[in-house]
């Protein structure tokens, strides 16, 4: 038999079988037990499915091929479809007829517009159960912007979960990687990274462009960014220095400078980077006749010389200490007690407990109302 003739006969037979099935559903004495299965398969789209396929026609939705059904889900979830359903009547009948007769590409283009590459194929990776309404629009937007690498990753992901799609849409485009998106502990962890990426673009620091590229490569290659994050951290500028640089003094302005000083002086300065980043301490290198590292620490809102160390944490001579302290004192940095510390010596434990002072029986409320 000619192949073309066979195809025509076969397609005609399919149409006849569909019509017979629909007629049977209208006539059959079917209980409502099948609705439980329809609810499970249609998920949060059940209400919309029930409008388009009322009564026993919901069996059509249930028995349809799972790949085709996910296309239907995408069409039903589209905002354009939701607006159409509010009109009711003939619009619903026309939509049902379109779902049953039109090609998948035509259905999707009618609901969403021009289709991005692989969108229809990605729908088939969503499994057998319908997703929430927003998942289909999220996947459509993701398919429009994802590159070749991400598209291949998504097409091999079965099932493609709503959580993964949502995370990928939230991530900045240059940091979208399937492995990376799935690696977050939870959504709060993801939000933290997104906030980091925004701040990253706002702040200028040493080798920023290079580190951005390294971060992107780490995300796309293995998803582990800890090493790059450390490289970013040690290049962040410390808060403004309290004492200006001069011929004998140099402010250690970031973590790299602290790490270099740690090697030079053979001490533990490298472990103190977080304290300096937070602004709790400041470190300076004294480069006069003798070399030393000077640590300032903030106390009661004022900077004071906390430590002065030579190589291998040796303590300098008293005269050397006096020279350094005198230099820092010129900029209101010293080891002396400040006025606030003296006053605190005379304050009782309840000095700032005002509860007993709130019961003023002579308070003139009428005055306050007039003043207002």
| pLDDT for the residue 223 | 76
| pLDDT for the residue 45 | 97
Taking the whole predicted model, whether its pTM rises above 0.85 is answered as no
Percent of the chain with pLDDT over 70: 88
Tokens of 193: 């990274």
Long-range contacts made by residues 31-36, C-beta under 8 angstroms, separation at least 24? 34/58, 34/59, 34/62
Long-range contacts made by residues 357-360, C-beta under 8 angstroms, separation at least 24? none
81 within a domain of the structure (yes/no):
yes
Helices (H) and strands (E) in the chain, counts: 21, 4
Whether 145 and 184 map to the same domain: the answer is no
| pLDDT for the residue 8 | 42
Mean of the per-residue pLDDT values for the chain? Answer: 87
pLDDT band at 341 (very low <50, low <70, confident <90, very high): low
49 within a domain of the structure (yes/no):
yes
Whether 139 and 49 map to the same domain: the answer is yes
pLDDT at 12 over 70: no
pLDDT digits (tens, 9 = 90+) for 107-159: 999 999 999 989 999 999 999 999 999 999 999 999 999 889 999 999 999 89
| pLDDT for the residue 356 | 57
User: Which phi and psi angles does 291 have, rounded to 5°?
Assistant: -105, 145
| pLDDT for the residue 17 | 77
Asked whether 31 and 11 are in contact (CB, 8 A), the reply is no
| pLDDT for the residue 198 | 94
| Mean of pLDDT values over 302-327 | 93
Whether 140 and 56 map to the same domain: the answer is yes
Whether 50 and 146 map to the same domain: the answer is yes
| pLDDT for the residue 5 | 45
25 within a domain of the structure (yes/no):
no
pLDDT digits (tens, 9 = 90+) for 316-333: 999 999 999 999 999 989
pLDDT digits (tens, 9 = 90+) for 27-69: 766 667 788 899 999 999 999 999 999 988 898 899 899 999 9
Whether 186 and 277 map to the same domain: the answer is no
Tell me the C-alpha distance between 228 and 254, whole Å: 16
Sequence-ordered strand ranges (E) for 146-270: 249-251
355 within a domain of the structure (yes/no):
no
Report the range of poorest mean pLDDT among 188-192, 221-225, 230-234, 274-278.
221-225
337 within a domain of the structure (yes/no):
yes
Whether 44 and 126 map to the same domain: the answer is yes
| pLDDT for the residue 18 | 72
Question: 3-state class of 306 per DSSP?
Answer: strand
pLDDT at 101 over 50: yes
339 within a domain of the structure (yes/no):
yes
The number of folded domains in the chain is 3
pLDDT at 263 over 70: yes
Q: What is the DSSP string of 138-164?
A: HHHHHHHH--HHHHHHHHT-SS--HHH
* Residue-number span of the structural domain to which 226 is assigned: 171-233
Tokens of 109: 């283009």
């Amino acid at each position: 038999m000619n192949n073309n003739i066979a195809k025509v006969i076969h397609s005609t037979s399919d149409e006849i079988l569909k019509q017979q099935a629909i007629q049977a559903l209208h006539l059959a004495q079917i209980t409502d037990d099948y609705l439980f299965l329809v609810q499970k398969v249609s998920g949060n789209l059940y209400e919309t499915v029930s409008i388009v396929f009322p009564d026993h026609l919901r069996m059509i939705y249930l028995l349809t091929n799972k790949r085709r059904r996910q296309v239907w889900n995408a069409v039903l979830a589209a905002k354009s479809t939701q607006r159409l359903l509010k009109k009711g009547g003939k619009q619903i009948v026309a939509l049902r007829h379109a779902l049953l007769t039109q090609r998948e590409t035509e259905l999707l283009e009618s609901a969403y517009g021009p289709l991005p590459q692989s969108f229809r194929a990605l729908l088939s990776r969503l499994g057998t159960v319908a997703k929430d309404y927003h998942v289909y629009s999220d996947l459509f937007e993701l398919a429009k912007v994802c590159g070749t690498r991400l598209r291949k990753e998504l097409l091999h992901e079965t099932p493609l979960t709503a959580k993964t799609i949502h995370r990928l849409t939230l991530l900045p485009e240059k940091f979208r990687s399937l492995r990376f998106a799935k690696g977050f502990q939870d959504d709060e962890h993801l939000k933290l990274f997104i906030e980091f990426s925004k701040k990253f673009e706002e702040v200028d620091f040493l080798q920023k462009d290079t580190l951005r590229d390294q971060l992107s490569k780490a995300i796309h290659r293995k998803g582990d960014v800890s090493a790059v994050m450390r490289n970013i951290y040690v290049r962040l500028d410390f808060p403004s220095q309290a004492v200006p640089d001069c011929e004998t003094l140099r402010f250690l302005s970031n973590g790299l400078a602290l790490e270099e000083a740690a090697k030079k002086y053979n001490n533990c300065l490298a472990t103190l980077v977080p304290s300096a980043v937070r602004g709790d301490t400041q470190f300076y290198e004294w480069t006069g006749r003798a070399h030393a590292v000077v640590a300032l620490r903030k106390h009661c809102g004022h900077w004071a010389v906390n430590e002065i160390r030579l190589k291998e944490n040796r303590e300098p001579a008293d005269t050397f200490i006096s020279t350094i302290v005198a230099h820092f004192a010129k900029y209101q940095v010293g080891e002396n007690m400040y006025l606030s510390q003296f006053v605190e010596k005379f304050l009782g434990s309840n000095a700032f407990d005002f509860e007993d002072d709130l019961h003023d029986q002579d308070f003139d409320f009428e005055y306050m109302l007039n003043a207002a």
